Structure 1
Amino acid sequence: MVVTKASDWAGDIGKEIRNSFGELMVGLPQPEPLLSVSQVAPNGFGTMMQVGRNIMVIGVADEEEYFVRNNVYAQPQTIVYVYAKDKAGVVKMFKKHQEEIIKTFIESDVNMLQNLFSKNKLDDSQFKTLQNLGISLTINNKFNTVDDTGDFLWLRQHLSSGIAKTGSNNILVYSVPLEDETQVLDSIVAVRNRIGKKYIPGSDPETMHMITEKAYTPFTFDAVIDGKKAYETRGKWEVKNDFMAGPFLNYTVVDKKNNRLIVFEGFTYAPSVNKRAFLFELEAIAKSMKIQ
């Protein structure tokens, strides 16, 4: 929620915010913005509005300032304040901090989901694969086991909203040896294709299995999981020789101490509905990872 004057929202300040927050999330089959945004005027920012979880207060003030406050009116809550002495200065100040602001709001939502999941958490000591790999995760208890070999874990949550009631959210966890750290980035797609062929069959296991969609190049970003260097890859999966497809989110964590790569992958199958929220839940679970 953006707290700013209607005239500022209609002008350059609002345009800059909408362009930044409205940037499309990569790896989704349908266009969905990174953040959904709404505006309220300062005189309309009363008690009902103040319980919002993520709020940005922005506008002209006597001093140029940027700061963040938590749990001001409600809990959990993150409020970002952006001020400058004139409208051009406000735009400049926002542009200077826009990446940090987006990161702040996303981290806020990740923490909120992790806290929510911890209240209804699966006992991850029941999974042979997590025990063997020395990993713990905060996974909500709506996930059921599809496969747990000791080397490979596949969990599935059936989605019950709207058209997606035939769909599912899925978690995969496994490890591969760390052979050459300089080659990790280039090997991510090949590794997930190999795992898909071995463990994730289609309706005809002889000819169908999960692969990375060839028509869409995945995007990879630097990340940190449990204090360790990692790569975040977003793209689309499909089942070879079949019509099933959807987005995936892959975290490949460099575990030098144990000379291996830990891979957490989340993928969603939810035909005809928006998928950002489903993938975000998988992101929150991935970022809860603790490695022994």
Structure 2
Amino acid sequence: MKKLGTLYITIFTLVMLSCKDSGPKQRFLPPSTGGINSLMVVMDTELWKGGVGDKIREHFAAPVLGLPQAEPQFTITQIPPQVFKGATAYSRSVLFVEQDSLSLAHIKTDVYAQPQKVAVVKGETYNDLVGNIDAIADKAIESFKEVEIAEAQVRFTRSLSKEKVFEEEFGISLKVPSLYKVGKHEKNFVWMDIQIPKGTMNIIAYQMPLNSFTNDSTFVGDIVKMRDSIGKRYVPGPYEDTFMMTEKAFSPYVFSAEISGKKAAKVRGIWEINGYPMAGPFLTYIINDKENNRKLVLEGFTFAPSAEKRDYMFELDAILRTVEFNKGS
């Protein structure tokens, strides 16, 4: 009888476990695919060739600000809906446009793969579709950029530099790929770079007093003066008396931003070498670090003549966004 009682208990336990497991199961999603800054546009080919396609290109293939040559925000691949299945649906960033009696525009997360953002636009008429594209474009671009930044970070964090120069000098951690090397480390200045085909990608960091840039009316001009003074002191050109400065012909673009939970200014523009024909794009974060009574400046810049620079600058942006402020720094 004792054995029979044990058998009943075992059966009861298995039944209870079976009931517990019969609840909703997490759906398996394959990893998303695609090159960085690639966008899959799923829509009827005739729509793509017409005004609706023009509206998509106006937003999603608009030139990236702050590059010497025009390069689109996304590399777009268009396919008709009937082809969007299987591995094609695993694209990381997707824009789905369809003529439908419904009129809507929204963004979905991890529909066919993970991580993934799918912007869905529907409308019955041309005006419906164009209006919905206009309405969702900024939010969709922001969502696509975030998932692309995250993917870029996943890729380069597989092999990180063990250098501690940023921590030692500024009390911050920065996830920098292992191929970057320290080029210069002085008081209040760190420079790391990596060789790329026909050029370099560079990261520099320094700090300024917290009360810098107090006049909004001179903000852009003061940023230029700051960059030029740092360039003259720390970033020499190929010959004596040459140094990096901000391109004189164009004012940089300035945006509000948040990085590592702190308010910041994000600056995009073109650098040049004073007195020598060299130039390229830069991206600067000026971070309000009130806890440490300073403005921390992180900058990435690229020298790659005759090469497209969008993805180089995108990687630098992804690196700078990994900054974390050490407690007690």
Residue 266 of structure 2 corresponds to residue 232 of structure 1: yes
TM-score w.r.t. the length of structure 2 is: 0.82
Residue 252 of structure 2 corresponds to residue 218 of structure 1: yes
Residue 227 of structure 2 corresponds to residue 166 of structure 1: no
Superposed counterparts of 1:191-210, under 5 Å: 191-205=226-240, 207-210=241-244
Q: Kindly, what percent of the aligned residue pairs are identical?
A: 35
Instruction: Tell me how far 1:169 sits from its aligned partner.
Output: 0.2
| Equivalent in 73, 98, 114 of residue 137 of structure 2 | 98
Instruction: Tell me how far 1:79 sits from its aligned partner.
Output: 1.5
Residue 170 of structure 2 corresponds to residue 133 of structure 1: yes
SS in 2 for 1:281: helix
Counterpart residue type for residue 16 of structure 1: K
Structure 2 Cα separation of the partners of residues 69 and 179 of structure 1:
42
Residues 27-70 of structure 1 show CA distances to partners (whole Å, capped at 9, x for unaligned) of 11111112221211001112232122211111123433333233
Residue 210 of structure 2 corresponds to residue 178 of structure 1: yes
Aligned length: 284
Residue 321 of structure 2 corresponds to residue 282 of structure 1: no
Structure 1 Cα separation of the partners of residues 300 and 103 of structure 2:
42
| Structure 2 residue aligned with 1:190 | 225
Structure 2 Cα separation of the partners of residues 33 and 120 of structure 1:
29
Superposed counterparts of 1:141-156, under 5 Å: 141-156=178-193
| Equivalent in 58, 70, 77 of residue 31 of structure 1 | 70
**Farther-moved stretch of structure 1 (231-240 vs 62-71):** 62-71
Q: Structure 1 stretches of 5 or more lacking a match?
A: 160-164
Residues 109-165 of structure 1 show CA distances to partners (whole Å, capped at 9, x for unaligned) of 1011111122112235x21x4333221112111111101224211000100xxxxx2
Larger radius of gyration: 2
* Mapped contact 1:59–1:87 kept (Cα < 8 A): no
Q: Structure 2 stretches of 5 or more lacking a match?
A: 1-39
Instruction: Tell me how far 1:190 sits from its aligned partner.
Output: 1.0
* Mapped contact 1:188–1:252 kept (Cα < 8 A): no
TM-score w.r.t. the length of structure 1 is: 0.92
| Equivalent in 145, 150, 155 of residue 111 of structure 1 | 150
RMSD (Å), alpha carbons: 1.7
* Mapped contact 2:107–2:140 kept (Cα < 8 A): no
